[in-house]
Amino acid sequence: MKHLEIINKADGVVEVWMNRPELHNAFNAELIDEMIQTFQSFKDERLIILSGRGASFCAGADLNWMKAMKNYSKEENFQDSKKLAKMFSTINDCNIPVIGRINGHALGGGVGLVSVCDHVIAVEEALMGFTEVRLGLIPAVISPYCISKIGESSARSWMLSGERFNALEAKRMGLVHDVVAVGGDLDAKVEEIKKRFLAAGPIATKEAKRLVREVVKSLKNSEDYTCQMISERRISEEGQEGMRALLEKDKPQWMKK
């Protein structure tokens, strides 16, 4: 990979590092393709950590890439946007839990990457913002994921102004789950969250992610689906092992390995 660094850790954990520190991990066509290819390749992993090398998490679109699209036709821009949308949907729909390790600023499309993570840990000094409107653009492609996280009220305030906000404000609106204070240990917090996720059944975690996605799609017609999902999990090998461990005050097999 030219712009991504993939590190396989123990216990099925994979770290995905955007590796363009000199450009604040801004994405271009190549990085987008690499992200799609990488997240489509994941199958049996337990957990994915997404982060950025250097001082920033992701500054959004690469300026050189934006220069090229400035002269695109409407159809060329549409096709370009479809590829960008594919990156976000591929990460969002990946059945493996994704933890966002937000090591620095996340702006524009960088906030989109934050929003498609399942659990987000950010350093307090990280600034975020839907800065597109200050360029005369709009955060269109990332909006389904961001609005799902922050709600309509916050979207109206921050998407319309383009003002930047800090990690504490991001936590208040639901975009971030944990904030590491200035001078704190980001990696220690990541390790703590990793342990929480690895304590869950590997298959159950993936099914729970699918459950959330499907229920959100159709809240009004979810009763049959949710009942079907839990009934399948209760009789599954992993579900049976989890219930056995609970009743016997034991650890399930996946925690003993």
Query: What is the per-residue pLDDT across 220-256, written as a single tens digit (0 to 9) for each?
Result: 566 676 677 778 888 889 989 988 998 899 999 989 8
* Domain ranges (residues) in the chain: 4-197, 200-256
pLDDT at 22 over 70: yes
State the CB neighbour count (10 A cutoff) for residue 200: 19
CATH of domain 4-197: 3.90.226.10
The matching CATH number, chosen from 1.10.3470, 1.10.12, 1.10.150, 3.30.200, for 200-256 is 1.10.12
Q: Considering the entire predicted model, what is its pTM?
A: 0.92
**Could you give the CA distance from residue 196 to residue 60 in angstroms, rounded to a whole number?**
30
3 state SS of 136: coil
Q: What pLDDT score was predicted for residue 117? A: 98
Query: Looking at residue 117, what DSSP letter applies?
Result: S
* pLDDT (tens digit per residue) in 171-207: 999 999 999 999 999 999 999 999 999 999 999 999 9
3 state SS of 147: helix
Q: What pLDDT score was predicted for residue 64? A: 84
What would the 3-class secondary structure string for 33-82 be? HHHHHHHHHCCCCCEEEEEECCCCCECCECHHHHHHHCCCCHHHHHHHHH
